[in-house]
Structure formats: C-alpha cells, structure tokens
Amino acid sequence: MFKEKIKAYYQKTWVKHLLFWILVFLCYSLSMIDYHHGSFQEIFITYGFRVILQCMATYICLLILLPRYLSRKNNLELVLSFLLVLSVVHFIATTWRVLYLEPTYPITYLSCIVKFSHLTYWQRILDAQVLFFQTPVKYLQPTFILIAIQYYSRLKNLAELGERKKLAELQLLKHQLNPHFLFNTLNNLYTLALKKSDNTPEVISRLSDILDYTLYRCNGQYVSIDKEIELIENYLSLEKIRYGKRVLINFETSLDRQLEIAPLLLLTFIENAFKHGVSQEINQATIDIALQTTDEHITFSVKNSIPSTTLPSVRQKEAIGLNNVKKQLELLYTNAYQLTIDHTRDLYSVQLNIQAA
C-alpha cells in the first residue's frame, strides 16, 4: 500500500522533488563550509545523512499521516503521530551525532563535546529542549515547506476545478436559454415563407446574425455591451415582424462607458417579456426596455403589460427561465448585482443593477 502511494505521488512530481532536495542539500553545504573547515567529505557525509533523514520524515508525514488523519478529522491522533515521527528523527539524529560525527570529526564538534561532556548518551537522547526546539528547526523545515506547497497546490487545483465547474454550468444555462427563441423564430420564418412575405429575407438575415453570435461569438464569460445591444436589436426586429401592431416596443440606451457583460443575460428578460406579455395578449401589448452604463455599473430595466389570463404552463416556463438567469448572476456577479422583480395586476417589471468587472 505504501509503495503504491509513493509511486502515484511521484508520477508527475518526482523531478520537482528531486530538485527541491538537491537545493536543500546545497543550501546546507554552502552555508556551512567554514564550520566544517572546507572538508567536502565531512560536509557530504554530514548533510547527506541529514537530507536522507529529512526525506524520510517528510514523506511519512505527506503520504501517510496527513492523508490518514486529516480525512478523519482526528487532530489528536495527527499530533501524536507527528510527535512520534519527531521523536524517531531526534533519536536517529542524536545517535548519529554522538556515535559517529563527534568521534570522527572532533575538531568540528569540539565545543559540543565539551558542552555535553557531563551528559550520558541517554541523557542527550532524552533532552527535551533539543527534542522540541532544535530538532524541528534542524530536521523538519523541509517538511513544513513541502506541506505548505502541497496545501497551496491543492487550493489552486480546487479553485481551477471550481472555475471549470462554473464555466460548465454557464454553458449549460446558455444552451437552456437558446432553444425556445430559435424554435419560435423558425416557426415564424416558416409561416412567412408560406405567405411569401417580403419580410422573409430580413428575418433570415436577422436570424443568421443571432445564430452567428450565440453559437460562435459569445463563448467567453463576458462580451462587449455593444454586441449585446446589437443582439437585442436583432431580436426586437424579429419580434416586431412576428407580432406587428400587437406590440408597442420602446428600447432606449445610454452608454457612458463601454463595459462588458455576461452574454445572453439581458436577452432572457426581454424574451420573457414577449413570451408572457405579448404572446397571449389579444389587445396591443407594451414593452419598455432601458439600458444604461455609468462608471462601473450597468442598469437594465424591462417592463411589459400583462394579459388578463395566463396559462399555468407559461408561468412554469417563466419560473424556469428566471431561475436560470439567477444562477448565471450568482455564478458571475456574486454580491455584485441587485435584481428586483415587481409583479402587479397590469404590469411586470424587472430592474437589474450590475457592478461590471
């Protein structure tokens, strides 16, 4: 099991880890040349062993302790296990120093030999000050560094996964918004073609522009607001042809700044206005649309008259459409938008304020 974890862990990162440990060894060696009187053999043996011991401690923590106990949220067992690793590292390091380094290189370790001459081997092993303060500093620094790097890497991966999930949700919502409009427009085009209407070429041209935009030119998270206005104008032209004198449309724009906005967001509200305010109206319906940009804010409003009767299925579709828009707003403009919907007996109005990115 342990071998499998090591193999999986190193499949993509072993080169980076190898470079990391080489860097650790070089930092120790170059900074302590004078202390060891320039003896490269002594430096290599001393810090080569230290790095090997650090590697063991680091990967025991990374591959065994953290995955096992953090997933269970058992902090006490994690701390106790960490102390056990610390104790083992301290025991091996002290034994190596007392039984090999100090006798082999007495000139280098003369001050330590004099300082601890009154202590036995086991007294030095059980020295709490060395165990809890000096050993972590000397031997576990790389462990803490790699844990921090791994934690940052996981946070970054989670953020990327969240971003991909958000983009996938947005694409799904966009695909849910398009079919109803396209279906109605194609039906309208079919009717005009049967009547051999003079408006057929214009409908085809407008529909072609809309399809080109929705399929190829609005795949990003944000688009220029000018492009959205062009889309809305094409849509309104098609609806004017479709409903004729049955609807009175007023569309006003005031752009002080060229800002960006999520594609197809505003069109959904306008589409709802036609779907629920015009399609079932026997008399003339009215739709008032206003779009304004100031500084970093986008203000949009749409108002439509309400017919005296509305089919239940239409109300359900309206709820689905608004839910999709709210999800888009929450994904792209979290805490940066205000949506107000008022529904009276004769008027349905939507007010949307967005703080643009």
The range of the structural domain enclosing residue 212 comes to: 156-355
Is residue 184 domain-shared with residue 264, that is, in the same domain? yes
User: Residue 170 maps to which CATH number?
Assistant: 3.30.565.10
Is residue 97 domain-shared with residue 127, that is, in the same domain? yes
Q: Model pTM?
A: 0.56
Question: What is the pLDDT at residue 309?
Answer: 62
Confidence band (pLDDT; 50, 70, 90) for 316?
A: very low
- With CA atoms as reference, report the closest residue to 269 among 312, 298, 241: 298
Is residue 3 scored above 70 in pLDDT?
Answer: no
Residue 280 identity: Q
Q: pLDDT tens-digit profile of 93-139?
A: 888 888 888 788 887 777 777 777 777 778 777 776 666 667 666 77
Q: Work out how many domains the chain is built from and give that number.
A: 2
Report the distance separating Cα 82 and Cα 79, nearest Å. Answer: 5
- With CA atoms as reference, report the closest residue to 296 among 355, 339, 256, 224: 355
Residue linked to tokens 């849910």: 176
Is residue 42 domain-shared with residue 127, that is, in the same domain? yes
Q: Domain boundary residue among 139, 169, 190?
A: 139
Calculate ∠ Cα 331-332-337, nearest 5°.
105
Write phi, then psi, for 21 (nearest 5 degrees). Answer: -70, -35
